[in-house]
Chains A and B, each alone.
Chain A
Amino acid sequence: MMKSDQSGPHSLIWTKVIWRQWCREPKVPAVLILILALGVAVFLAVRLANRAAVTGFSLFTESISGDSDLLVRPRAGSFPESDLMSLREKMGATPATLFPILDTTAAAGPGAEAEIFRIIGTDFVALPNAVYLSDDETGSPIAAQTDGFSGMLGKPDQVFISRVFADESGKDTGDKLQIYVEGRQKELTISGIVESDPLRPQVPRRLLVFDLPGAQKLTGNEGLLSRLEVKIPPGPDFQNNLQLAREKLTEWAGDRFVVETPGQRKDSATRMSAAFRLNLTILSTLALIVGAYLILQAMEAAVIRRRSEIAILRCLGVTPGEIQKAWLMESLVLGLLGSALGVMLGVFLAQGMVGAIASTVNTLYYETTSRSAAFDPVEAGFAFLFGVVISLLAGSLPAREAANTPAAHAVATGIRGGGLKLLQHPLPGWVFLLLGLLVVKLPPFVTSQGSTIPVGGYAGALFFLLGISILAGHLFCLIARMLAAGNALPERVYASSQFRLPGGRHRLAAAGLLAAFGMSAAMGILVASFETTLNSWIRQMLKADVYVAAAGAQSAISENKIPGEVWKEILATPGIEAADRLRRYSIHFEGKDTWLAGSEYNNSERRLQLIWIKAPENTAADALTVREGDTYPAWVSESFSRVFQRSLNDRFPVPTPDGPKSVVVKGIYADYGSERGTVLLSRRFTSQWYEDDALNNLALYLQEGIDEETWLADFQNKFPGLVARTNRTLREDALRLFRQTFSVTYALEGIAIIIAVAGLGLAMVGLLLERREELSTLKEIGMTRRRIAAAAMWEGLGLSIAGVVGGLLLSLILGWILVYVVNRQSFGWTLNFTVPWLTIAALSCAMLATGSAVAWFTGYRIANLKSDLEEE
């Protein structure tokens, strides 16, 4: 027999059977491609937005002087300019140029949410050197405008602004600009524009560049620097010179300063948000996995629909392996098309998401300048590959089912099948539950960057999900009884009969609903627990009547403060009974950034009460003022205790400008305001060490009978550069900020639920298509299309009930894991476990209603399809 050299039968089946079917009914593959694309897009968008939030972390001077090679910054407090002398002596003839930098903030306007200007003070005389030290030919965008320099030297009111800000605000050279520094309004004159250069990091929008002495004078930091940037001239000896400079700097720095590369600084800053970003990635993966479940359902429905064709192929001599390959090819093509579309959508979606994520990161962690997410080929490739793999995995089960389809003769006998066989036996379910119990409390995995990943929590959650999904099938016998209870209508009797001997497909459909409901409700529990805890924390913490802070205080990077003379003037205002004072400083402790805070609480009954994780023996307002020899008593936050592994009575030195000070942990308190952790001491000591009388926050207790609103209006007239909020507005702002932080989470949850309900619709399509002969019989014995739809509705309701009941149990377990394991190991926060019963009840009703409606609609459509017998 003449044989030709052609591709295998699976290619033939793909082109002649599957592809033709796609062409005849393009809606089905189009919907599947869109679903997969949505999953991939969400996944990629979150990753790109996360990446943008991290890469947007800026040292701010990069865009002016180019990348520095080394940074020197104090472990605590500021960098006295006077130290430069000894440093220059130490460096001697080492080929390195030193750029002193003052890096601080000012508010763009009054109010807590005022945008923050980043103030960079640098040596304008030395800056032109950046041109000669730069590898590229662009030099410094400021250095190029040398005309503006001479008139600016040392002046606190002469400023360069960014091109973006100039364009947005319509300001130009010579125009005036108002800012708020140290609680006072200041007027600046714009001396020049910092141009954006494609060869440099993007110039941050709200960047104000001053000559160093001018910035120091403007911000009240005379004689002080934030850091020193060091540039090594390019050339063949670069590496040797870098090494030499680093050695000399490290030797000089001792334990007062940190010498690091810009990369190390960035890692240290961005690692703080690693857990937050990881959680978002996991949630976005959830959307993709639920999408995969939907593809599985849809492809399985397609296999059932084409079962007779597959049977014919078997009769024509096509092997099961070839059929499996052909159907896998379908999922591969779906995966390739869906993932490609998803990558394109993802890049657009990321632009919308980056704002939300950057806003949270700005508020909670560090400043990011990102306003858009750049396309990243590695991330896109990863998302594309992930989408293809997920699609292949989702398609593998239907492909196997297609391969196992009996030949035509057997089809006529009405064999049913489908769904995961694993779901039909309870033993694996119990094994998964046991595994979940064993792994859930495992200690977290600590990455080389110091982030903790609760692997035991996540693995436990997965095992519980699998276990409960498998065991949920046992609910079907109860559902069967429930549906047939009383004098049931024939539709209910028929629907009930489907649950008496449920197949794998019923179990798979219920498992999909259960997973989506369970995970969403569990996230609801986490959010509710967070909100309840935060509420009770705020209630206990916020006892004062009015809270005062410098403008822009809501941003995590704000260094704005209330100078001593200003807060003293405030305290002299009539109507104030007492006040609590707080000043915090960023310190570099054991390789990480954390806070050192000095507090002074008043002695009244109403004073601030911390929530104790481990209470000290003495909680009085002046408890922190009692020294034990050279050791200072401290209360540390729960996050500090977790990150630095310090507990009650532990003694350790903390860096201060006055040298290391030994502190002893007397208490551990809850603090949901920061993940960085805080060491809280008496301000009596910190103000001496830092020689600083300023405050970050001032809580005022008004005398009885004083109207807060009237008092506040007078206050704001007198101190327009400060933010003052009443107890009520501060609470409202805190909760609004909290909800904004979780907004991305809600969106991702919503996507998961929508996909799960769509999955139920597809499951019903599969179940009903498989029973086309039965439906045909029902019609022959007098059941109308509407009654068949009603029977499908009862069946869908039964599946939804199984999903909701199983999902509820799952959500309680997952909620517990999220609150007590994942959250505690990731963020170090203790939350009060709270179940939002009302929200869960609403979610249940919504799922039961939409599940029933989708099933009714599916039944109504399929009731009119001809059976296999009728078709031929």
Chain B
Amino acid sequence: MLAITDLSKSYGENSVLREVSFSMTTGERVALMGPSGSGKSTLLNCISGIDRPNSGSIELNGQSIGGMDERQLCELRRDSISTIFQFFHLLPTLTMRENIEFPMQLIRLAEKERKKRVDELIHEVQLDHRADAMPDELSGGERQRVAIARALATRPVLILADEPTGNLDTTTGESILDLLETVSGRYQTAMLLVTHSKRVTRICQRTVSMKDGRIVDDEK
């Protein structure tokens, strides 16, 4: 599903990624670990098309991301790849329901189908009672659940999660991990989870470790 080959990226003299190669299959959950500055976030940015590598290739379902123009990259993020952030990044002017619905509106999904999916996702993340709450009325854990529901809304093949539990307490973090595991299994969505926490690895089939821009370990 995802194949990365000899990916390199540098900012001036500073090499951030050095010939990184790895792959993921459909529905696979992979933890990406490593110290600060090891290149995890840059790798995530390159996969989502926000940043462009200097060399190497990224293929998603056989389609090369490197050759895509800005519009195609936007469509890729709209249709195939979703991101979950450490700080949730919900749109503050929208209710919880609208936040989840928003990406589906972007891809112009019919209203009936949208409503059906929103109800299903709200139920999935167990927030039926808060559907019309604004983001600032939700707790951190609830906001991350909304972010997960939003990420799943367009049925992407890959979800990139950047420290998804990094801003949550242990109990909430655990419940979010359980949720990620559940939805990934149910929707057969692959997940690449960037983390510093060993706890995250418990829901992953593989753990890839990075250091100084290189993959130093890839264990199942």
In whole angstroms, how far apart are the Cα atoms of A320 and B73 in the complex?
A: 11
The reply on A626 being an interface residue by CB < 8 A is: no
CB-contact partner of A317 in B98, B103, B167, under 8 A = B103
Report the bound CA distance from A20 to B92 in whole Å: 9
Q: Which residues of A contact B45 (CB under 8 A)?
A: 407, 409-410
Are B88 and A9 neighbours in the complex by a CB distance under 8 Å? no
Q: From residue 292 to 335 of chain A, which have CB atoms closer than 8 A to chain B? A: 308-309, 311-321
Q: How far, in Å, is A12 (CB) from chain B's closest CB?
A: 5
Residue in contact with A1 in the complex, picked from B74, B94, B107, CB distance below 8 Å = B107
The 0/1 profile, CB within 8 Å of A marked 1, for residues 103-115 of chain B is 1011111110100
- In whole angstroms, what is the CA distance A869 to B111 when docked? 34
Is there an interface contact between B107 and A3, defined as CB atoms closer than 8 Å?
yes
Residue B50 at the chain A interface, CB threshold 8 Å = yes
**Size bracket of the B interface:** 35 or more
Q: Considering the complex, which residues of chain A in the window 854-872 have a beta carbon less than 8 Å from any beta carbon of chain B?
A: 868-869, 872
Contact of B89 among A16, A21, A308 (CB under 8 A): A308
Chain B residues with CB under 8 Å of chain A are 41, 44-45, 48, 50-51, 70-71, 74-79, 83, 85, 87-94, 98, 102-103, 105-111, 113, 143, 162, 167
Contacts of A9 in B (CB 8 A): 105-106
Q: Which residues of A contact B74 (CB under 8 A)?
A: 314, 317-319
B89 touches A312 (CB 8 A): yes
The verdict on A16 contacting B102 (CB below 8 Å), with A21-B93, A319-B71, A408-B85 known, is yes
CA distance A309 to B85 in the complex (A): 13
Collect the chain A residues with CB atoms within 8 Å of residue B162's CB. 409
Which residue on chain B has the smallest CB distance to residue A5? Answer: B108
Q: List 26 A-B contacts (CB under 8 A).
A: A1-B109, A3-B108, A4-B108, A4-B110, A9-B106, A16-B91, A17-B94, A20-B93, A20-B94, A314-B50, A314-B77, A315-B85, A315-B89, A316-B103, A316-B106, A317-B76, A319-B74, A321-B71, A409-B45, A409-B51, A410-B45, A410-B50, A868-B87, A869-B87, A872-B89, A872-B143
Per-residue B-contact encoding for A401-422, CB less than 8 Å = 1, 0 else: 0000011111000000000000
- Complex Cα spacing A3 to B78, Å: 14
Most A-side CB within 10 Å, residue of B75, B85, B89: B89
- Min CB distance, B105 to chain A, in Å? 5
Asked if B111 contacts A309 (CB within 8 A), the reply is no
Does A2 sit at the interface, judged by CB under 8 A? yes
Residues of B within 8 A of A314 (CB): 50, 74, 77
Instruction: Say yes or no: A317-B93 contact (C-beta < 8 A), given A12-B105, A16-B98.
Output: no
Neighbour of A406 across the interface among B50, B94, B102, B107, CB < 8 A: B50
Q: Which residues of B contact A618 (CB under 8 A)?
A: none
CA distance A406 to B105 in the complex (A): 22
Tell me whether A872 and B88 are in contact in the complex, defined as CB-CB below 8 angstroms, given that A3-B110, A4-B111, A16-B94 are known contacts: yes
> CA of A312 to CA of B45 in the docked complex: distance in angstroms?
13
In the complex, what residues of A have CB within 8 A of residue B48's CB? 315, 407
Residues of A within 8 A of B92 (CB): 309
**The 10 A-B residue pairs with the shortest CB-CB distance in the complex, in nearest-first order:** A317-B78, A20-B93, A317-B77, A4-B110, A872-B87, A319-B74, A407-B50, A312-B89, A2-B110, A3-B108
CB-based A-B contact count at 8 angstroms: 96
**Distance A365 CA – B167 CA, assembled complex (angstroms):** 75
Q: Give the A interface residue count (CB, 8 A).
A: 34
A717 within 8 A of B: no
Identify the closest chain A residue to B80 (Cβ).
Answer: A317
Q: Is the Cβ of A312 less than 8 Å from the Cβ of B91? A: yes
For residue A8, which residue of chain B has the nearest CB?
B108
Could you tell me the distance in whole angstroms from the C-beta of A415 to the nearest C-beta in chain B? Answer: 13
Q: Shortest beta-carbon distance, A275 to chain B, in Å?
A: 51
Given A4-B109, A408-B89, A409-B162, A315 and B94 contact (CB-CB distance below 8 Å): no
How far, in Å, is B196 (CB) from chain A's closest CB? Answer: 15
Q: Pick the contact of B77 from A6, A21, A316 — CB < 8 Å? A: A316
Find B41's partner among A20, A309, A312, A409 (CB 8 Å cutoff): A409
Q: Is A24 an interface residue (CB 8 A)?
A: yes
Determine how close the nearest CB of chain A comes to the CB of B131; give it in whole angstroms: 16
Across the two chains, which residue of chain B brings its CB closest to A21? B93
- Answer whether A316 and B78 are a contact pair too, CB < 8 Å, given A308-B89, A408-B89: yes
B81 to chain A, nearest CB (A): 9
A9 to B79, CA, bound (A): 14
Contact with B along A159-183 (1 / 0, CB 8 A): 0000000000000000000000000
Q: Which residues in B have their C-beta under 8 angstroms from that of A311? A: 89
CA distance A316 to B70 in the complex (A): 13
Q: Please give the distance in Å from B118's CB to the nearest CB on chain A.
A: 14
Minimum distance in angstroms from B74 CB to a CB of chain A: 4
Task: Give A377-419 as 1s and 0s: 1 = Cβ < 8 Å from B's Cβ atoms.
Answer: 0000000000000000000000000000011111000000000
In the bound assembly, the distance between CA atoms of A117 and B34 in angstroms comes to 94
With A21-B93, A312-B90 given, name 7 new contacts (CB 8 A).
Answer: A2-B113, A9-B106, A311-B89, A312-B89, A315-B85, A316-B102, A317-B76
Residues of A with C-beta under 8 A to B108:
3-6
The one of A3, A317, A409 in contact with B44, judged by C-beta atoms closer than 8 angstroms, is: A409
In the complex, what distance in Å separates the CA atom of A309 from the CA atom of B135?
13
In the assembled complex, the Cα of A313 lies from the Cα of B94 at a distance in Å of 13
Note all chain B residues with C-beta closer than 8 A to A407.
45, 48, 50
Q: Is A315 touching B102 in the complex (CB atoms < 8 A)?
A: no
Smallest CB gap from B150: residue in A: A316
User: Nearest residue in A to B110 (C-beta to C-beta)?
Assistant: A4
Q: How far is the CB of B85 from chain A (nearest CB, A)?
A: 6
Could you tell me the distance in whole angstroms from the C-beta of B164 to the nearest C-beta in chain A? 13
CA distance A404 to B78 in the complex (A): 18
Q: In the bound complex, how far is the Cα of B107 from the Cα of A856, in angstroms?
A: 45
When C-beta atoms are compared, the residue in chain A nearest to B92 turns out to be A309
Contact yes or no, B93 A17, CB < 8 A: yes
Contact B91 A17 (CB under 8 A): yes
Most buried by A among B70, B91, B109: B91
Report the Cα distance A571→B106, complex, angstroms. 93
Q: How far is the CB of B175 from chain A (nearest CB, A)?
A: 19
**Residue among A3, A317, A407 with the highest chain B CB neighbour number at 10 A:** A317
Q: A408 contacts which chain B residues (CB < 8 A)?
A: 83, 85, 89
**Contact across chains for A6 and B105 when beta carbons are under 8 A apart:** yes
A407 to B89, CA, bound (A): 11
Alpha-carbon gap, A282 to B87, bound state (A): 51
CA distance A313 to B99 in the complex (A): 11
A139 to B103, CA, bound (A): 72
Chain B residue at minimal CB-CB distance from A22: B93
Chain A nearest Cβ from B52, distance in angstroms: 13
Q: Report whether A12 and B106 are in contact in the complex, using a CB–CB cutoff of 8 Å.
A: yes
Residue contact A317 to B88, C-beta cutoff 8 Å: no
In the bound complex, residues from chain A placing their C-beta under 8 Å from that of B77 are 314-317
Give the CA-CA distance A315 to B44 in the complex, in Å: 12
